[in-house]
Amino acid sequence: MDPYLPNSYGLNVSAPGLFRFNSLNDTCPGILYENFIDGIFKKFQDSFFFITFLQFVIVTLMYSVIGKGRYWKILFYSAIFNMFASLTENVTVAYICTEAEAKAKRERNLVVPFLFAEVGWIIGEFSIPFLNLTKMGAFSKGRANKIINWIILGFFFPLFILFRFYIGYARMVNGVLQSMDIRLTLAFVYAFLAVTDLICTISILIFVRNNNKRFIQTSSVNHYIKHSSYTILLLVDAASVLLAFFNAISQYHVFGIKIPESFANPFQCLKCGFILILSVDALLFKYGITTSSTNSKYSSSNYKSSNSFNKSRTNYSTNATYANYTSSYNDLSSYNQNSFYNKGLKVNDSKSSNIMYFYDNGERFIGLQNKDYSNLIPKNNINY
Residue with the bigger pLDDT between 1 and 251: it is 251
Q: Indicate whether 134 and 186 sit together in one domain.
A: yes
pLDDT at 308 (0 to 100): 54
Q: Indicate whether 236 and 162 sit together in one domain.
A: yes
pLDDT tens, position by position, 69-123:
888 999 999 999 999 999 999 999 999 999 999 998 899 989 999 999 999 999 9
Provide the mean pLDDT of the chain. Answer: 78
pLDDT tens, position by position, 24-81:
888 999 889 999 999 999 999 999 999 999 999 999 999 999 878 888 999 999 999 9
CB-based contacts of 10, cutoff 8 Å, min separation 6: none
Instruction: Please spell the DSSP secondary structure of 134-201, one letter per residue.
Output: HHHHTT--SHHHHHHHIIIIIIIHHHHHHHHHHHHHHHHHHT-S--HHHHHHHHHHHHHHHHHHHHHH
Q: Indicate whether 195 and 216 sit together in one domain.
A: yes
Q: Running DSSP on this structure, what letter comes out for residue 368?
A: E
pLDDT at 378 (0 to 100): 53
Please name the amino acid found at residue 51: I
CB-based contacts of 174, cutoff 8 Å, min separation 6: 19, 25
Q: Indicate whether 272 and 312 sit together in one domain.
A: no
Q: Indicate whether 362 and 284 sit together in one domain.
A: no
Q: Indicate whether 352 and 251 sit together in one domain.
A: no
15 lies in a domain?
Answer: yes
Q: Which among 300, 320, 349 is the end of a domain?
A: 300
CA distance 355 to 29: 110
Q: Indicate whether 57 and 78 sit together in one domain.
A: yes
262 lies in a domain?
Answer: yes
309 lies in a domain?
Answer: yes
Q: Please give the share of the chain, as a percent, with pLDDT higher than 90.
A: 41
Sign, Cα dihedral of 244, 245, 246, 248: positive
CA distance 79 to 273: 9
Q: Which among 237, 272, 300 is the end of a domain?
A: 300
pLDDT at 322 (0 to 100): 42
Dihedral angle at the C-alpha atoms of 71, 74, 77, 83, nearest 10 degrees?
A: -100
Residue with the bigger pLDDT between 285 and 176: it is 176
CA distance 60 to 54: 10
pLDDT tens, position by position, 150-199:
999 999 999 999 999 999 999 999 999 999 899 999 999 999 999 999 99
Show the domain range for 333: 302-381
pTM for the full model?
0.72
pLDDT tens, position by position, 329-355:
344 334 444 444 444 455 555 554 455
Q: Indicate whether 307 and 248 sit together in one domain.
A: no
How many CA atoms within 13 Å lie on the side-chain side of 299? 6
- Helix axis angle for 230-249 and 274-329, nearest 10°, is 170
Helix or strand (DSSP H, E) at 84: helix 69-96
Give how many domains the chain has, as a whole number.
Answer: 2
Question: How many other C-beta atoms can be found within 10 angstroms of the C-beta atom of residue 192?
Answer: 25
Q: Indicate whether 168 and 246 sit together in one domain.
A: yes
Q: Indicate whether 263 and 307 sit together in one domain.
A: no
What CATH number corresponds to the domain at position 104? 1.20.1070
CB-based contacts of 382, cutoff 8 Å, min separation 6: 367, 368
189 phi and psi angles, rounded to 5 deg = -60, -50
Q: Indicate whether 107 and 191 sit together in one domain.
A: yes
Angle at 268 between CA 6 and CA 81, to 5 degrees: 100
Residue with the bigger pLDDT between 300 and 223: it is 300
Q: Indicate whether 264 and 364 sit together in one domain.
A: no
CA distance 213 to 229: 19
